[in-house]
Amino acid sequence: MHVITVFVALSFLALGVSSAEHRRFTPRFTLEQITETRTLGQFTISRDGAWVAYTIAGYYYGFSVIPRFGEDNNIRVVSLASGEIRKLTSGPSPKTNPRFSPSGERVAFEAEGDIWIAEVATGAVKRVTGHLANDRSPTWSPDETRIAFVSNRPAAGRSARTDVWVVSAEGESRELFRLTDDGAVEEDPQWSPDGGAVAFTARHPDEHFYARGIFRVPAAGGTVTRLTSPDATTNFAPRWSPDGRRLAYLSDRSGYVHVWTMSPDGRDQREFDTGPHDSVSPHFAVAPVWSPDGQGILVSFNREGSFDLAALDAETGRVETIATGGGQYHEVGFTAEGEVVYSYENAWSPPDLYVRPRLASEPRQLTFSSHATFRKEHFANVERVALESLDGLKLGGFLLTPTGSRPGERLPAVVNIHTNSYGQFYDHWGPFFHYLVQSGYVMIMVDQRGSAGYGRAFREAAIGAWGTKTLDDVKAMAAYIKALPSVDPERVGVMGLSHGGYMTLLALTKVPELFRAGVDLMGPTDRRTAFLNRNRRLHIGERATEEETLELYDRVSPITSVADLRAPLLILHSDRDRNVAPSQSYGFVDELERHHKPHELVMYPDEAHGLADPEHQRDSYRRIVGFFHRYLGQRR
């Protein structure tokens, strides 16, 4: 492993590496066990309900990544009848987004930026597309002769954008054509059962930032028809009924993301009300799944960070919750006998596949990802909490406390801010957070305004409020945890990745008395650099004049207040990050050095937005734990 480290001595804040208090807390699992655990990623079920194909995934900082597991990064198929597991592909490159052909004899998938096909019986693999662009999201035609996919291939006279394409299953040298060419960003194409049309999700650049619609285009090419209204609502994940007479999809038009159905021409819209819960997550793939007879729809819905599983009656609209009780239940499909197939994970157990007869109380577990050391009693105590922000907005999240704490003991604490402004904290597999807590900390993980899972109004509460009211939410989190009798209010730190890193830096620079130490993982430092980005304009807000707008962007950029920073800072970044350019951290470090502020920068090579190399993951985890031990580990 080679990392670039820039270190400025933390002279006046060095408090010792580890206190007796922290030596008493010892996690019962190791960082090596965390980073080497192979978990299940994406799933697809064969039309006959006999097989599920799945990918291998890993987790970094609580969220799924495509890890560098070498030969393990391949697609596997599991028999739903016998539990037999076979490795379908080989080679070190990651394989993602598998899709069974209608006959179940082949699986299309993504690898190396192209579309490939594997024969289920023999494992023979064929490359279908070959282009420097990113080809992804394959879907089969009913006769298996063609595959629709999305690609950002450029066209003559204009820059690249994402369109729907169609390629022959024999390869693009046989047939290849662009199906859409309208300036929108297309996603998730789905071929109709009769082969005549392709439905997809698209976002037009001239519409509201959150607006996404469902569209249909003739499979042979032609006019694109919009099936949902052109408004500010989010509509996505279209799925054809087996007979092709209905499209199920997800929409937040009623205020929460629910399943809706419509006819293929967009008429006869119908909502399936699963209550004040969103069937959406930026970190888990959620989509309606039709039963083979077309009479039911399987879907999961977000209940305060947990996902329940529901069966919807397509005729009556009745909603039946078939799996609940914490953790993450997510739809996969149905066996030929009508058994429900789903994935499940929770805080102490990584995701695995299960089969459950509708009337049976105990499911059959098909895959086994968990390490033998991972037991519920080895993980932190988890409690759902609610609090109010400074303006009275209700926020929810989780409080983690170490199992070895003593009555009356006051421990250091960490405020953890989630990645992605539209992110969320979940009751799911995220072992590093538990490792840190079991090392002697209290941790609060609260969803700030704009987060997923709480309906459209809560999401839109962040519009025009990045760095202002969202910072007030962080202040409320800090006040809540400092008031707990189990927390030493003088020893509270903050950390976050991506948007969480940005909020970490904003809190440390704009409210320097709030936290005693901070860890920023790949967070933006200067909001002025993306001034014309419509996402920034929407969420930060605009003023009447250019001068007022620039002043606002200065105010919500951590780099403009480095002189006020008081706490030591650990910055972790990667040199191939396309979401947050490494220059954001380098520029921030220049300001830190100019003002003689204590900090450490670690730049990981050959990594994107998140760390995929297990060795890099372990190194970053050790640095985070050691950093908090050093600066929160002893009382002042």
User: Which strand (E) or helix (H) includes residue 125?
Assistant: strand 125-127
Asked if 381 and 404 count as a contact pair (C-beta separation under 8 A), the reply is no
Strand, helix or coil for residue 599: strand
* CA distance to 12, 166, 232, 423, per residue, from 497 (Å): 27, 37, 28, 11
Give the model's pLDDT for residue 21: 59
Tell me what the mean pLDDT of segment 393-411 comes to: 94
Q: How far is 226 from 213, CA to CA, in rounded Å?
A: 7
Strand, helix or coil for residue 452: coil
pLDDT tens digits along 496-525? 999 999 999 999 999 999 999 999 999 999
Q: Is residue 8 very low, low, confident or very high in pLDDT (cuts 50, 70, 90)?
A: very low
User: Model-level pTM?
Assistant: 0.94
Give the model's pLDDT for residue 158: 62
Give the model's pLDDT for residue 24: 76
Amino acid symbol at 291: S
Give the model's pLDDT for residue 535: 75
For a pLDDT cut of 90, what percent of the chain falls above it?
Answer: 81
pLDDT tens digits along 235-272? 999 999 999 999 999 999 999 999 999 999 999 999 99
pLDDT tens digits along 203-217? 988 788 888 999 999
Q: How far apart are the first and last CA of the chain?
A: 36
User: Which strand (E) or helix (H) includes residue 322?
Assistant: strand 319-323
Is domain 4-33+374-632 classified as CATH 3.40.50.1820? yes
Residue ranges covered by each domain of the chain: 4-33+374-632, 38-278
Q: How far is 246 from 259, CA to CA, in rounded Å?
A: 12
Structural class in CATH, domain 38-278: mainly beta
Give the model's pLDDT for residue 493: 98
Mean pLDDT score of the chain, rounded to an integer?
92
Q: How far is 142 from 160, CA to CA, in rounded Å?
A: 29
Q: How far is 549 from 570, CA to CA, in rounded Å?
A: 31
Show the 3-state SS of 513-533.
CCCCEEEEECCCCCHHHHCCC
Q: How far is 413 from 442, CA to CA, in rounded Å?
A: 4
State the DSSP code for 558.
G
387: left (phi over 0), alpha (psi -120 to 50) or beta: beta
Greater pLDDT, 284 or 397: 397
* pLDDT over 80 (residue 634): no
Strand, helix or coil for residue 315: coil
Greater pLDDT, 161 or 323: 323
Amino acid symbol at 149: F
- Joined tokens for residue 5: 């480290």
